[in-house]
A and B are shown apart, each in its own frame.
Chain A
Amino acid sequence: MSLTILNAVIAVVIAIAFAALNAAYLVWAERRGAGRIQRRPGPNVNGPLGLLQPPADGLKLMTKQLIIPGGADKALFMVAPVLAMAPAIMSFVTIPFSENIVARSMNIGVLMIFAFASLGAMSILLAGWGSRNKYGVMAAVRAVSQNISYEIPMLITVITIVMMTGTMDLKELVAGQSGGIWNWNLVPSLSSPLMPVAFLIFFICTLAETNRAPFDLGEAESELVAGFHTEYGSMGFGLFFMGEYANIVIGASLITILFLGGWGCPLGLFPGVWWFLLKIYLLIFSFIWIRWTFPRTTIYGLLNLSWKILIPISLFNLLFTAGLLKVF
């Protein structure tokens, strides 16, 4: 018990480093990817391929003055970015990158990730409200209603998988999918023929939960300026940014673990951390790709999608799978 807490502390430190590094270079990847899609080079001046751009940006953000708006609630204004970043880092603790590389393997790993992810809504609310900005408040309300309504189909889908595999331990989830692509949860099996649909639902929900385009209503820059972080500059903004990208990595990891066999090789050979990283970065690339292709949805379109399409289908999937599991 006690040992694990010390472990966890060390793991948190590593997770912070990993999250920060990931955030920095995902921004770079995002900008390069967007550039390629839009037929421009993207950042390419600082260092080879612009690889020194993220540290430069980070340095700039850190050295800038933190401006707190006059009417803002100072305490909440300062707390919100931390609250955005901290849960994301905590979630890293339980993600197994390979059989051995995991900070704290828990038997309820899935639940833990969702528990910490649910704190994100609180940080958005506090940021929007604390900065005393109408755009911020509107964006916060939007983002929270979005987060809450997409948590439902996401959890239902996870329950389907948990029901199938009988475990909430992320490591066991991956272990159950080892041995080649045909063992992945993504592939429909006799007892779960709707798995690709579940994957699609989970993927869409991940996009929505991480506030990524086309569901980035919380920071809809063309109508709400910058949404809940309108008033944030310097490292406050930096933390939100890092939190967002850390959430993306967590989302991609979760998809990989739940559906794509984790660190397993598609061919069943040499499983390892590289496969895991390859899968999550491919997923992240697809996030970037989607972001730069589609326009943004409306708030009611978003809620309609969740309540009228995703939740019924995922519920049906749950019942259907439960029935089939009983039969087979």
Chain B
Amino acid sequence: MNPSDTTTIIGFFTGDGFAGYADAAAGVVFLIMLATTLVGGIIACTAERLVRAVAGLALSFIGVAAIYYFLNSPFVAMMQLLIYVGAVCVTIAFAIMLAAPEDTKKIGPSGPLSGPLGLVTAGLVTMGMTGLAVNTTFSVLPKENMGSVKLIGIELLTTYSMVFELVSIVLLIAIIGSLVIARHGRSK
């Protein structure tokens, strides 16, 4: 049991007035976002049309952004929206338009066994990780870590400055590399 879990379902009714309702509302929003994430994820990995999969992925990412917000890190939440939804998903959708124009062709599983096999693999992995998560006792700090942009900035430019620079190099190489690969075979 998590010590930070102080408000109970009874607390919702007996709680101190408005704040109780507010907590409940936050809980409802969280559930909605959880559902969004999961539904988006299911669409992303099962949809027959790739564009729908990307849309599902975007939906899932929006949910994940909300979850980051609940994890007291609005900055990362916004970055999640900006990078994952605004850039990654759009790029993937873009590529689908360029590379798979005949969208009508439905994409099924690759073989008769792959469906069940995938399900079993995924199920096992999920079960294992869930079990691990539930059964491990984490040393939870009493104080919530509040995300602070300033702190992130300071850390990025001090402790992690080397990684930061490396990431920018990786990104640069990625840009150049993808340009080179994608332009290959096209004279214009």
The CA-CA distance from A116 to B18 in the complex, in Å, is 29
Complex interface: chain A residues within 8 A of B26 (CB): 1-2, 5-6
Given A5-B22, A125-B93; A114-B51 close (CB under 8 Å): no
Does B94 count as interface, using CB distance less than 8 angstroms?
yes
Residues of A within 8 A of B87 (CB): 118, 148
Tell whether, in the assembled complex, residue B82 and residue A111 are in contact, meaning their CB atoms are under 8 Å apart: yes
A269 contacts B by Cβ under 8 Å: no
Q: In this assembly, does A318 line the interface, its C-beta being within 8 Å of a C-beta of chain B?
A: no
Query: Which B residues lie within 8 Å of A148 (CB)?
Result: 87, 90
- Does B38 sit at the interface, judged by CB under 8 A? no
Contacts of A76 in B (CB 8 A): 51-52, 55
> Contact: B25 with A116, CB < 8 Å?
no
Taken residue by residue from 64 to 87, chain B's Cβ proximity to chain A (1 for < 8 Å, 0 otherwise) reads as 010000001011011101100111
B164 interface residue (CB < 8 Å to A)? no
Q: Is A99 interfacial (CB 8 A cutoff)?
A: no
A126 touches B86 (CB 8 A): no
| Nearest CB in chain A to that of B101: its residue | A137
A125 and B103 alpha carbons, distance in the complex (Å): 14
Give A6 to B27 CA distance when docked, in angstroms.
Answer: 10
Known interface pairs A126-B93, A141-B97; A6-B82 also in contact (CB < 8 Å): no
Chain A residues whose CB sits within 8 angstroms of the CB of B22 once the complex forms: 2-3, 5-6
**A118, B94: Cβ atoms under 8 Å?**
no
B21: interface (CB < 8 Å):
yes
- CB–CB A168/B82 < 8 A: no
Chain A, residues 214-251, CB within 8 Å of chain B (1/0): the string is: 00000000000000000000000000000000000000
Please tell me if the beta carbons of B94 and A116 are within 8 angstroms of each other in the complex: no
Inter-subunit contact B25/A125 (CB<8 Å): no
Q: In the bound complex, do residue B90 and residue A115 qualify as a contact, i.e. CB atoms below 8 Å apart?
A: no
A47-66 interface code vs B (CB 8 A; 1 in, 0 out) = 00000000000000000000
- Docked Cα-Cα span, A3 to B15, in Å, equals 13
In the complex, what distance in Å separates the CA atom of A106 from the CA atom of B72?
12
Rounded to whole Å, the gap between the CB of A188 and the closest CB of chain B is: 27
* CB contact between B75 and one of A79, A108, A137 (< 8 Å): that residue: A108
Does A122 contact B52, Cβ atoms closer than 8 Å? Answer: no
What is the CB-to-nearest-CB distance from B12 to chain A, in angstroms, rounded to a whole number?
11
Contact with A along B139-162 (1 / 0, CB 8 A): 000000000010000000000000
What 4 pairs across the A-B complex have the smallest Cβ distances? A118-B86, A115-B81, A2-B26, A115-B78
Residues of B within 8 A of A (CB): 18-19, 21-23, 25-26, 29, 49, 51-52, 55, 58, 62, 65, 72, 74-75, 77-79, 81-82, 85-87, 89-90, 93-94, 97, 103, 149
